[in-house]
Chain A
Amino acid sequence: MAARVLAIWCMDWPAVAAAAAAGLPATEPVAVTLANRVVACSAAARAAGVKRGLRRREAQARCPQLHVVAADPARDARHFEGVTAAVDEVVPRAEVLRPGLLVLSVRGAARYFGSEQAASERLVDAVAAAGAECQVGIADQLSTAVFAARAGRIVEPGLDAQFLSPLSIRQLATEPSLAERGREDLADLLWRMGIRSIGQFAALLRTDVASRFGADAVTAHRFARGEPTRGPSGREPPSDLGVVMNCDPPVDRVDAAAFAGRLLAGELHRRLEGTGVGCTRLAIHAVTANGEELQRVWRCAEPLTEDATADRVRWQLDGWLNRSVRHEDRPTAPITVLRLDPVEVVSAAALQLPLWGSSGDDDRLRARRALVRVQGLLGQEAVQVPVLSGGRGPAERITLTPLGDEAVPRADPGQPWPGQLPEPSPTVLLDDPVELFDADGNPVRVTGRGLFSADPARLTAPALKSAGNRTGRLSWWAGPWPVDERWWDSGQVATQTKAGRTARVQVLLDGDGDTAGRALLLCYRQRRWYLEGMYE
């Protein structure tokens, strides 16, 4: 016996959903319009002469008390979720073809409730309890069942084609979730050729249809003959991969937390292996005895191994438990519940080692292992991986990310960055305040036009202990090269991001006798000079 398919059709669903959203009773006339045309209307509106395809003004003229609502697929889907849930209660794994139309495999339900008739009655009751009207149809094939639902019929097994044959050929295009875009033209063409019913279309030879009307016509032809198509594919319930641990006694020390983390990581990885996936984003939740909830998501560049997971749990708990006392986020009680949720998983093929030899990056893995060990000693933030970033100053053009996190540059290095400092870059990067004076001993500023207020002649570094080698007369200078970046930031943010008008200057300090001078890169921002880098 073929798999029987049941379709649940809620008529005029966009109008029903719009009425429900607006809080109107079902008896009010409602029309949903898209691009000034009515696409759906309620039964009351239809009784007043409104129909699909009318202009909005004409529909309002035919039924003056009509509520006109713009089409909103999100609203339809949102309101249909309640119906789906109600159907799921009775028969699980229903497939939603579109909001307002559900299909499900009825074989199991028919056996459970005694007959197909009884199953359909239960479903209609369940949908009515959820506040919607529906019609149910049962047939051998999915698309036939949809048409059976429109007629409210149960088609006997094997009689699909017979049920369909008296229907008008125009019906081929009426159900948008079953018809492709060109189906309307096909139905129109067949009508003009004198093929008026689906039965007449089904009587044509398959080869003739295929050679004259193309691939979509073949699909339509299969449907017209009631030949097997795909069955309903209900959604799988998402498998629950998260693991939970109730800590008894509650965890308040890092070593206990590390132990708990290792156990949890082991359990999580057994589950992940069982489902054949690897985890690239891991959420760590913790609940304390006082009911505080802490959560952090770790993003990783490659799938986590069991050890890496355990490390991350340990770092996270370490961070939470050892936060400085004045930190307001510090938990006030020990941790009682610990939960790991894989937020993002990838196919485990990424974790598979090659069968013979190595994958060619032995050296890389060896280096990585050594670095991970250092991470275990010093914490996750200790090992940083540089990546080239976009920017103008030498410090902005390198982004450091902790090893194991996704290395994303702060700004795109591929973009043109006009005003970027030319090569070579300083080999030492600093950020120390210095002072620049002209020949008369007055401080030098950079004017709003990007020029020096006077030619610089001398540099002093009052804040530096080893100021000896950074203080002296200038033998040469170049600049200022002004940059006006991130002027939209203000206040505290501006100080952090070093926003605003900046200017950079290269200077050469006089050497004394045998030692050559020093080349320095100075930066003028927030009306102060900073020593940004040294060339050496």
Chain B
Amino acid sequence: MTAAVSLDRSEESRSEQVEHLRRKMALMSGKGAGSAASTRRGAMPSNTSLPDSETLLPLPDSLADLLPTSLPRGSVAVLSGARSLLLGMVATVTAAGGHAAIVGQPDVGLLAAVEMGADLSRLAIIPDPGGDPVEVAAVLMDGLDLVVLGLGGRVVPPTRARAVTARARQKGCTLLVTGGDWPGASARLEARVSGYEVTGAGDGAPIPGCGRISRVRLATRAGGRSVGPVRKVGG
């Protein structure tokens, strides 16, 4: 609703309005800004006095300029494409003091997350969640700030998705879905590798046999209700 109203306004007033409405909603539901502030303050960096930090998920820099506002806590987002995006979000959340879990992704390269700044002591991996990974994710929402759910091609019926989305909103836990679709997700992020930087292999096209890969360039697209129209950013 709020997104629909705000879409046709200008950029600044829109984001302000979303913030305002979101705060109102949080007050009405009794959860969010007020109560979340008391439970989560210790985990957040001390310099963020804005209420944003209580209701919004910390995001990596590459995404910060892509999304008009950060992802709200308690929302569901579908990620697709390159894995760096997911690991970057896990790294940012754990580095900011949140707890995260990765469900159903046995092949994820955690060392890459460490290099992005992740705090491994706040991270748990459930490589094989059994027959029902959605159930495991729903249980984890109780205590974690971010749950990454690899569906592995499974289809989640809309009724089930609605129930889990409501649970995520109530518990203030962000759910990132990969490897499948999530009916009614509030944001869809897609990352694609746009190129590699190779150091030490000469100017122009890299010379075979020299240098090493120094950086992966990502092109990220974001869409969905809470994000607004689809935008593109090169990373």
Q: Say if the beta carbon of A535 comes within 8 Å of chain B.
A: yes
B213 touching A519, Cβ below 8 Å: yes
Given A384-B126, A424-B215, do A370 and B208 touch, yes or no (CB 8 Å)?
A: no
A536 touching B130, Cβ below 8 Å: no
Which of these, A373, A386, A455, A536, contacts B110 with CB under 8 Å? A386
Chain A, 356-372, CB within 8 A of any chain B CB: 360, 362-364, 366-371
- In the complex, A250→B60 CA distance in Å? 57
B111 touching A363, Cβ below 8 Å: no
Q: Say if the beta carbon of A516 comes within 8 Å of chain B.
A: yes
B109 touching A367, Cβ below 8 Å: no
Instruction: Say which one of A144-152, A261-269, A470-478 lies at the interface with B.
Output: A470-478
Query: Which residues of A sit under 8 angstroms from B39, Cβ to Cβ?
Result: 362-363
Q: Say if the beta carbon of B124 comes within 8 Å of chain A.
A: yes
A429 touching B107, Cβ below 8 Å: yes
Main secondary structure of the interface of B (DSSP, over half): mixed
- In the complex, A350→B198 CA distance in Å? 51
Q: 1/0 contact trace for B186-197 toward A, CB 8 Å?
A: 000000111110
Given A386-B110, A478-B210, do A370 and B83 touch, yes or no (CB 8 Å)?
A: no
A374 touching B43, Cβ below 8 Å: no
A427 touching B97, Cβ below 8 Å: no
B142 touching A370, Cβ below 8 Å: yes
Range for the number of chain A residues in contact with chain B: 35 or more
Query: Which residues of A sit under 8 angstroms from B195, Cβ to Cβ?
Result: 516
- Residue of A370, A377, A397 with highest tally of chain B CB at under 10 A: A370
Range for the number of chain B residues in contact with chain A: 35 or more
Query: Which residues of B sit under 8 angstroms from A426, Cβ to Cβ?
Result: 109, 112
Given A377-B139, A517-B196, do A428 and B83 touch, yes or no (CB 8 Å)?
A: yes
Which of these, A360, A403, A535, contacts B124 with CB under 8 Å? A403
Chain B, 122-140, CB within 8 A of any chain A CB: 122-130, 135-136, 139-140
Chain A, 14-58, CB within 8 A of any chain B CB: none
Chain B, 23-70, CB within 8 A of any chain A CB: 39-40, 42-43
Q: Which B residues have a C-beta under 8 Å from some C-beta of A?
A: 39-40, 42-43, 81-84, 87, 97-99, 101, 107-112, 114-115, 120-130, 135-136, 139-145, 192-196, 198, 201, 205-216
A-B contact pairs, 10 of them (CB 8 A): A378-B129, A382-B126, A383-B124, A384-B125, A387-B120, A422-B212, A427-B109, A506-B212, A517-B196, A535-B196
Q: Which A residues have a C-beta under 8 Å from some C-beta of B?
A: 360, 362-364, 366-371, 373-374, 377-378, 382-388, 394, 397-398, 400, 403, 422-430, 455, 474-478, 506, 508, 515-519, 533-536
